[in-house]
Chains A and B, each alone.
Chain A
Amino acid sequence: MEFQDGIGTVADNEEGIFTPQRDVREHLVVVGNGMAGCRAVEELLARDAGRYRVTIFGAEPYVNYNRIMLSPVLAGEKTFDDIIINGRQWYDDNDIELIVGDPVTAIHRAAKTVSSRSGRTVGYDRLLIATGSDPFIIPVPGNDLPGVISFRDMKDVDTMLAAAADGGSAVVIGGGLLGLEAAHGLTLRGMKVTVIHLMPTLMERQLDEASGWLLKSALEGRGQTILTGADTAGIYGEGKVEGVRLKDGREIPASLVVMAVGIRPSVALARDAGLDIGRGVKVDDHMVTSDPAILAVGECVEHDGNVYGLVAPLWDMCRSLADGLTDRHTGYRGSVTSTKLKVAGLDVFSAGDFSGGDGCEDIVLRDAARGVYKRVIVKGDRLVGAVLYGDTADGGWYFDLLKKGEDVGAIRDLLIFGQAFASGGGQADPKEAVAALSDDAEVCGCNGVSKGQVLACIEAGNGTLDAVRATCKASASCGSCTGLVETLLAATLGDDYSGERATRTVCKCTSFGHDDVRREIAAQGMKSIPEVMHKLHWSTPDGCSSCRPALNYYLLCALPGEYRDDQQSRFVNERMHANIQKDGTYSVVPRMWGGLTNPRELRAIADVVEKYHAPMVKVTGGQRLDIFGIRKEDLPAVWADLNAAGMVSGHAYGKSLRTVKTCVGSEWCRFGTQDSTGLGVRIERMTWGSWMPHKFKIAASGCPRNCAEATIKDFGVVCVDSGYELHVGGNGGIHVRATDLLCKVATEQEALDYCAAFIQLYREEARYLERTAPWIERVGVDYVKSRIVDDAEGREALRARFLFSQSFSQEDPWASRAAGKDAELHQHLAEVRPMEFAA
């Protein structure tokens, strides 16, 4: 995190800030290091990089970050580092002086200087005010008690995280977007949350009553208490907040109160300087205030009577401002806004006027089972408003129709079914829908990027989602238009678009990638496969043979001891606990710890081979014995016999820990340096039974001659005189890959600890059916080292999570089947015997 305590500067050359260097360029001073201020500078640099000398003042002690993304940080989906827009490098690269933690306190227009809280004075030729907005604190008793905060900056998030760490109850005052995001995050962090909203409907400015109710029900379903029509009388507490009292007398205890009732343009600085102020700092079409040397942009301004609190208008303003500063006079003409949001993981969209009124007619579609509500408002032959809940895919299209005022009379019957139907053909092909969008249709609402701009960006050579995000910023903020951008990539590049991005979809049933699904499972606290499919809008009723096993694994990994394994989502081998062969019979591999066996086990295996007429028994590559040709009906009996000799399932069939292969090591071998056999047995005792994204093989060799072939295993130990070399990511399959050296450790216990931590990292972060080799090639061995080797605390946490998970998974699945569990999986229903076959 780029952060400095108190007053400081991020620039290296401290002297250079106070005594302006001999620089003949005009000096642009920006008050405000937030989204608007920095975006304006970005736009300016894009037009004429060297024209102005730039100094930015920030009140917060951070570099420029994405304020919209504070919610994911609170929810634990992102870290602060993830939401930095421009790191320190950007300021350095562009020769921008950044002064953080030191708010500007006065503008001296006559002298053309600003002065800051710490007492520094800086001269300007042009001044840009981008002070944003201040949270509105409702004037009730107790609003200044410790524990009463707003939700506006990183400091607020830190306060909330600290409060959540102690558990307890929180009250969020305000049921708008910001309040609901705060409530969602605090709920995920384990607090009991009550939302108090003055109006009868949540988010009443964006949603109508019906969709507001759906949202309220969904949030209540997640354990939040939502009080609408509730008026706050005061906040009580001795020395710190203890609760909120409503005007009807109800008291709601809370150790944290978040005020999220609204924001007001931050105009104090401009007002003190004598600039024209309305609701915000008044600006013209080039964002110039009543003083020609002073500009203003973002949430703090009032343009043509309007004040904006959304991101898209802000980007429009920044473009007009930068045009003006570089003598291109396009001018800002105001913005028509739509709202497409994910509120606490729920999709909502609204645009235009949905309050109804004379001549307005509603067209409504409801699908309660899917939790979908769509309403479009038509006046004459024009679309004037739209509200979508649960399925917002057509939001962009409605918004486009609305902005252009197109005649929708001819498609009115089909309008509510969305673009694919209304545009003809009834083909619900999203590609055609996107192709049908006009070039100036807005694709990315957050960043105000049109379809034409995305296409231009792709045609300029940005052939991946990540490149598009980096260049034109489409889908780079909230990500809800990712699917649209991808469709444009695919449509533009055809076969050249490899779909290369961090997230390939899990399967055809969903538009989500593996990482998205895992993140949402955690973020939304999802607990079952049907829940995941419902909440993530699966396109099939119960998935397919690709996604079901993946979801089953992700839930199993996320909820050890809590999630109930779904047998119907297991491949046959994992359901039958044996390996199916081409003739439909099974092979059975009992576990032999570290490849060691004894006469009792060998006799039991020999007896099974004879008793069940197994046609073949074979030594495997993983140092086990494999008994072939067992019928599914006989499996429980075979397992009972093997259990009786002390053997358990060898999991030779699973996406799980398979075998730990060993050599004889120092106990017998004249070259052996350590007890590799004993170590192998101990590793296998620790790791057996664990489910993984894919199969996982381990080996331990007693010396660098490496007889156990540890360097083509997922985790390999090569013992040396001075300790243990730990290797990861090897594979002896189709693509042979030698391991990467993770590190060297001195003791056997460390080897065990690192092994457990590595497995857990793989379990938590690799995608289903991704072996360690491709996983490590994807994330890089340096990343794995940073998590396992460099971060001792993180390693210990991973190890602890693995052992916790193992405490639930080390039960022999054979024993319960032998005892009669799931007998129907092994027995025929009956047998049909025509008369002449009857005995």
Chain B
Amino acid sequence: MTASNNVGDWLDIGPMSQISPGNARTLPVRGGEEIAIFHTLDNHFYALVNKCPHKQGPLSQGIVHGNVVACPLHNWNISLRTGEALGGDEGCVPTIPLKVDAGRIFLLRDAVIPSRAARKAA
């Protein structure tokens, strides 16, 4: 995870209580990829681009177990920590650095908001 202590580098997306354990919620980004934020049953938070590397299934809708999510379309298991497909499957989805501070969830701004060039292309 990119370490940054500069407050302005982090995007506050609200209290952690918005996501109950075992669930995920989504954060659409205009001009960028939708992000899925996961709350695991052992109380860790992870953020991934909400697209399975296989067929772009919405990972936010999958079953969360351990620090893994099973894609709802074809049951690929994706590591929430690394974004990599597990087992015999190959592929990787980008992860977004996330921190929890004082009960709120923060995402690294640069990883959420696409660069101006990418936005123009979009």
| B-binding residues in A (CB < 8 A) | 540-545, 548-549, 567-572, 575-576, 580, 582, 584, 632, 824-825, 827-834, 836-837
Which A residues are CB-close (under 8 A) to B61?
572, 575-576, 580, 584, 632
Could you name 28 residue pairs across A and B whose Cβ atoms are closer than 8 Å? A542-B42, A542-B65, A542-B66, A543-B65, A544-B68, A544-B70, A545-B62, A545-B75, A545-B77, A567-B22, A568-B22, A582-B55, A584-B56, A584-B61, A824-B18, A824-B25, A825-B23, A828-B25, A829-B14, A829-B27, A830-B27, A831-B27, A831-B30, A832-B27, A832-B29, A832-B32, A832-B35, A832-B112
B26 close to A (CB within 8 Å): yes
Residues of B whose CB lies within 8 Å of any CB of A are 11, 13-14, 18-23, 25-32, 35, 37, 41-42, 55-58, 61-66, 68, 70, 72-73, 75, 77, 112-114, 119
Q: Which of A568, A576, A582 contacts B63 (CB 8 A)?
A: A568
Hey, which chain A residues are within 8 Å of B55, CB to CB? 582
Looking across the interface, which residue of chain A has its beta carbon closest to that of B75? A545
User: Of A568, A582, A831, which contacts B64 at CB under 8 A?
Assistant: A568
Contacting residues, chain B, for A570 (C-beta < 8 A): 63
With contacts A825-B23, A833-B30, A834-B32 known, what are 10 further pairs, Cβ within 8 A? A541-B42, A542-B66, A544-B70, A545-B65, A545-B70, A568-B22, A568-B41, A568-B63, A584-B61, A834-B30
CA A632 to CA B62, docked complex, whole Å: 14
Bound together, the chains give a CA A570 to CA B61 distance in angstroms of: 10
The reply to whether A832 and B11 form a contact with Cβ atoms under 8 Å apart is yes
- Report Cα–Cα, A582/B58, bound state, in Å: 9
**Which 4 A-B pairs give the minimum distances between C-beta atoms?**
A568-B22, A545-B70, A572-B72, A837-B30
Rounded to whole Å, the gap between the CB of B86 and the closest CB of chain A is 11
Least distance between B99 CB and chain A CB atoms (Å): 16
Task: Please tell me if the beta carbons of B18 and A572 are within 8 angstroms of each other in the complex.
Answer: no
Note all chain B residues with C-beta closer than 8 A to A825. Answer: 23
With most chain B CB atoms within 10 A of its CB, the pick from A541, A543, A830 is: A830
B25 surroundings in chain A (CB, below 8 A): 824, 827-829
Q: How far is the CA of A572 from the CA of B29 in the complex (A)?
A: 23
Min CB distance B38 to A, Å, is 11
- Residues of chain B contacted by A544 (CB below 8 angstroms): 63, 65-66, 68, 70, 77
Is the pair A542, B41 in contact by a Cβ cutoff of 8 Å? Answer: yes
Whether the pair A580, B73 counts as a contact (CB closer than 8 A) is yes
Chain B residues whose CB sits within 8 angstroms of the CB of A549 once the complex forms: 63
CA distance A824 to B23 in the complex (A): 10
A830 with B30, Cβ < 8 A, contacts A541-B41, A542-B66 known: no
Q: Which residues of B contact A582 (CB under 8 A)?
A: 55, 57, 73
| Bound form: Cα–Cα A288–B57 in Å | 75
The contact of B26 among A545, A548, A568, A828, by CB within 8 Å, is A828
Chain A nearest CB, measured from B93 CB (Å): 14
- Nearest chain B CB to A531's CB is how many angstroms away? 15
**Closest Cβ neighbor of A542 among chain B residues:** B41
A576 to B60, CA, bound (A): 12
A580: B residues at CB distance < 8 A? 57-58, 61, 72-73
Assuming the contacts A545-B75, A824-B20, asked whether A584 and B41 have C-beta atoms less than 8 A apart, the reply is no
**Once the chains are docked, how many angstroms separate the CA of A824 from the CA of B31?**
24
In the complex, how many angstroms separate the beta carbon of A547 from the nearest chain B beta carbon? Answer: 9
Q: How far is the CA of A825 from the CA of B24 in the complex (A)?
A: 8
Say yes or no: B18 contacts A829, CB within 8 Å. yes
Instruction: Determine how close the nearest CB of chain A comes to the CB of B30; give it in whole angstroms.
Output: 4
- Beta-carbon contact of B41 and A834 below 8 Å: no
**How far is A568 from B41 in the complex, measured between Cα atoms in Å?**
9
A572 CA to B14 CA, complexed, in Å: 25
Interchain CA distance A834-B14 in the complex, whole Å? 17
Per the bound structure, the CA–CA distance linking A833 and B13 in Å amounts to 12
Give chain B residues whose Cβ lies under 8 Å from the Cβ of A584: 56-58, 61
CA distance A828 to B26 in the complex (A): 5
The answer for the CA separation of A829 and B18 in the assembled complex, in Å, is 8
A829 touches B30 (CB 8 A): no
- Contact with A829, one of B13, B75, B112, B119 (Cβ below 8 angstroms): B13
Identity of the chain B residue whose Cβ is nearest the Cβ of A833 in the assembled complex: B30
Do A837 and B66 touch (CB < 8 A)? no
Which residues of A sit under 8 angstroms from B37, Cβ to Cβ?
A: 829
Given A571-B72, A832-B112, A541-B57 contact (CB < 8 Å): no
Q: How far is the CB of B87 from chain A (nearest CB, A)?
A: 10
Closest A residue, CB atoms, query B37: A829
- Complex interface: chain B residues within 8 A of A837 (CB): 30-31
A572-B72, A580-B72, A829-B13 known; A834+B63 contact, CB < 8 A:
no
Cα-based distance from A580 to B75 in the complex (angstroms):
13
The CA of A543 and the CA of B29, in the complex, are separated in Å by 32
**Nearest A residue to B30 by beta-carbon distance?**
A837
Task: With a 10 A CB-CB cut-off, give which of B11, B27, B32, B72 has the most chain A CB atoms.
Answer: B72
Most A CB within 10 A of own CB, among B11, B56, B70: B70
Chain A CB within 10 A, most for which of B26, B42, B68 = B26
A548 to B14, CA, bound (A): 30
Query: Chain A residues with Cβ under 8 A from B63's Cβ?
Result: 544-545, 548-549, 568-572
Are B23 and A568 in contact, CB atoms less than 8 angstroms apart? yes
In the complex, chain B residues whose CB is within 8 Å of the CB of A572: 61-63, 72
**CB-CB nearest in chain B for A576:** B61
Q: Which A residues are CB-close (under 8 A) to B77?
A: 544-545
Report A552 CB to chain B, min CB distance, Å: 10
A830 with B13: CB separation less than 8 A? yes
In Å, the complex CA distance between A816 and B30 comes to: 31
Q: Name the contact of B28 in the complex, choosing from A568, A824, A832 (C-beta under 8 A).
A: A832
Give Cα distance in the complex from A545 to B63, angstroms. Answer: 6
Residue of A nearest to B52 (CB): A584
Q: How far is the CB of B70 from chain A (nearest CB, A)?
A: 4
Inter-chain contacts of B30 with A (CB < 8 A): 831-834, 837
Are A548 and B65 closer than 8 Å at their CB atoms?
yes
Chain B residues, Cβ within 8 Å of A567: 22-23
The answer for the CA separation of A584 and B30 in the assembled complex, in Å, is: 18
Q: Which chain B residue lies CB-closest to A547?
A: B65
Indicate the member of B13, B63, B70 with the most A CB atoms within 10 Å. Answer: B63
> Which chain A residues border B57 with CB–CB below 8 Å?
580, 582, 584
Distance between Cα atoms of A572 and B20 in the complex (Å):
16
User: Are the CB atoms of A834 and B119 closer together than 8 Å?
Assistant: yes
Return chain A residues, CB-CB under 8 Å to B64.
568
In the assembled complex, the CB of B40 is this many whole angstroms from the nearest CB of chain A, namely 8
Report Cα–Cα, A836/B120, bound state, in Å: 10
- Residues of B near A575 (CB, < 8 A) are 61
In whole Å, how far is B94's beta carbon from the nearest beta carbon of chain A?
Answer: 15
* Complex CA distance for A568 and B70, rounded to whole angstroms: 12
Of chain A, the residue at the smallest CB distance from B35 is A832
A540 touches B65 (CB 8 A): yes
Among A543, A568, A827, A834, point to the contact of B31 (Cβ < 8 A): A834
A contact residues around B11 at 8 Å (CB): 832
Q: A828–B23 contact, CB under 8 A?
A: no
- Neighbouring A residues of B20 by C-beta, 8 Å: 824
CA distance A584 to B56 in the complex (A): 9
Contacts of A542 in B (CB 8 A): 22, 41-42, 65-66
A830 to B27, CA, bound (A): 6
Task: Enumerate chain B residues within 8 angstroms of A827, measured Cβ to Cβ.
Answer: 25
Please give, as numbers and ranges, the residues of chain A lying within 8 Å of B75 by CB-CB distance.
545
Min C-beta distance of A401 to chain B, whole Å = 35
Least CB distance from A556 to B in Å reads 16
